[in-house]
């Protein structure tokens, strides 16, 4: 049975989970890899995710169940029923949230497995959802839930179970230059010019021509800002995008305007005023996360450094 999912523990490089068919294997890797636990499921595994502290493993299977396992002992801790196939799930320190293919969102308490909220995306907005590009994020207090689906975003208050705000991310598609063949021979160029149709206004790329990647979402420690980064492929070209959303004002700011390499890590300072990003080229940028407004010029990092390559 081929391996369908693979995930390392975020806190222990020696702990690895792999899923094949109906089973999840918890591995102790190293010089002599061995299977520590075999987590049997009644249906095929669809998703799995470690908790941030590496203590728990959350799985989603085809029997419409979420299961929370103790990653150390391999024992089942909680089992939660869902109404449809899970498109995306997220696990915080206290709560678990899942987005279903029927546009429903369910939230559970991790300790008891009790469902505390059942939300619904607007049917008009989610008529043709892009579940492959969906992402969920819980704020540090875990009383707010962010859902990003394609270019649409929703901010839910889990205490009142009300939609607090709606926003757009990565809404503007860049204009790509049209490739035009120009022959060197003057006669051939003249004939081609006569046969060429009159130029038309460039059209925006159709949705079918755009390939969206799942965004990465990170809250600031104060829960007031959300950093969203992703890659988008349009007509064979990869576009790197990053935006910062102020959840209080709803303002969205483009960041990393000159980024030429994908962001591989990002982190807010403890006071949420600074943002550090590192890209694949090894460039470290330090940004002022609160010092610019959308009406001013695009962000510029006020400190840059180059990280030495990591030997493997």
88 and 53 within one domain: no
What is the model's pLDDT at position 250? Answer: 74
104 and 123 within one domain: yes
Residue 175 falls inside a structural domain: no
88 and 145 within one domain: yes
Query: What's the alpha-carbon Rg for the chain, to the nearest Å?
Result: 23
Look at the chain and report how many structural domains it folds into: 3
* Strands, sheet with 56-61, edge to edge from the N-terminal-most edge strand: 45-50, 56-61, 65-70, 76-81
Residue 173 falls inside a structural domain: no
- Is the pTM value of this prediction over 0.75? no
Q: Which of 78, 95, 116 is the last residue of a domain?
A: 78
Query: Of all residues in the chain, what percent carry a pLDDT higher than 70?
Result: 69
Q: Which of 62, 78, 94 is the last residue of a domain?
A: 78
Contacts of 191 (CB under 8 A, 6+ apart): none
Residue 9 falls inside a structural domain: yes
227 and 149 within one domain: no
Residue 230 falls inside a structural domain: yes
The domain in which residue 285 lies consists of: 216-312
- Indicate which CATH number applies to the domain containing 154: 2.40.10.480
Residue 113 falls inside a structural domain: yes
98 and 67 within one domain: no
- By C-alpha distance, which of 46, 47, 28 is closest to 37? 28
- Indicate which CATH number applies to the domain containing 33: 2.40.10
The highest-confidence range among 42-51, 149-158, 255-264, by mean pLDDT, is 42-51
Q: Which of 168, 195, 227 is the last residue of a domain?
A: 168
What is the model's pLDDT at position 286? Answer: 79
**What is the rounded distance in angstroms from the CA atom of residue 79 to the CA atom of residue 94?**
15
Q: How many residues does the chain have?
A: 312
17 and 97 within one domain: no
Give residue 168's Cα distance to chain centre: 15
- By C-alpha distance, which of 253, 251, 216 is closest to 232? 216
Residue 176 falls inside a structural domain: no
74 and 5 within one domain: yes
CA angle 104, 108, 114 (to 5 degrees): 120
232-259 pLDDT, tens digit each: 666 676 666 778 888 877 777 766 554 5
**What is the rounded distance in angstroms from the CA atom of residue 306 to the CA atom of residue 98?**
38
95 and 66 within one domain: no
pLDDT bin (cut points 50, 70, 90) of residue 86 is: very high
Residue 141 falls inside a structural domain: yes
269-286 pLDDT, tens digit each: 888 888 887 777 777 777
Integer CA distances (angstroms), 238 to 212, 233, 262, in order: 10, 4, 10
68 and 100 within one domain: no
What is the model's pLDDT at position 173? Answer: 42
74 and 87 within one domain: no
Residue 208 falls inside a structural domain: no
């Amino acid at each position: 049975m081929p391996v369908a999912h693979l995930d390392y523990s975020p806190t222990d490089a020696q702990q690895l989970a792999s899923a094949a068919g109906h089973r999840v294997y918890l591995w102790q890797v190293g010089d002599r890899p061995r299977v520590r636990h075999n987590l049997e499921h009644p249906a095929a595994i669809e998703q799995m995710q470690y908790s941030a502290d590496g203590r728990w493993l959350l799985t989603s299977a085809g029997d419409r169940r979420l299961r929370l396992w103790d990653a150390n002992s391999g024992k089942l801790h909680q089992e939660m029923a869902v109404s449809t196939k899970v498109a995306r799930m997220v696990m915080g320190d206290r709560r678990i949230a899942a987005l279903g293919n029927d546009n429903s969102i369910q939230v559970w308490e991790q300790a008891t497995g009790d469902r505390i909220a059942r939300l619904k995306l607007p049917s008009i907005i989610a008529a043709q959802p892009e579940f492959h590009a969906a992402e969920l994020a819980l704020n540090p207090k875990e009383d707010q839930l962010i859902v990003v689906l394609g270019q649409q975003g929703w901010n839910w208050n889990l205490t009142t179970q009300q939609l607090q705000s709606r926003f757009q991310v990565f809404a503007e598609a860049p204009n790509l230059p049209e490739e035009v063949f120009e022959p060197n021979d003057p006669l051939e160029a003249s004939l081609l010019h006569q046969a060429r149709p009159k130029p038309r206004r460039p059209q925006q790329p159709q949705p079918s021509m755009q390939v969206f990647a799942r965004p990465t979402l990170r809250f600031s420690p104060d829960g007031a800002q959300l950093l969203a980064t992703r890659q988008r492929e349009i007509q064979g070209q990869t576009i790197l995008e990053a935006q910062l959303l102020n959840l209080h004002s709803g303002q969205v700011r483009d960041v990393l305007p000159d980024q030429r390499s994908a962001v591989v890590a990002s982190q807010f300072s403890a006071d949420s005023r600074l943002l550090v990003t590192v890209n694949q080229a090894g460039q470290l940028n330090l940004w002022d996360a609160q010092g610019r407004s959308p009406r001013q010029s695009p962000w510029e990092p006020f400190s840059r450094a180059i990280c030495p390559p990591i030997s493997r």
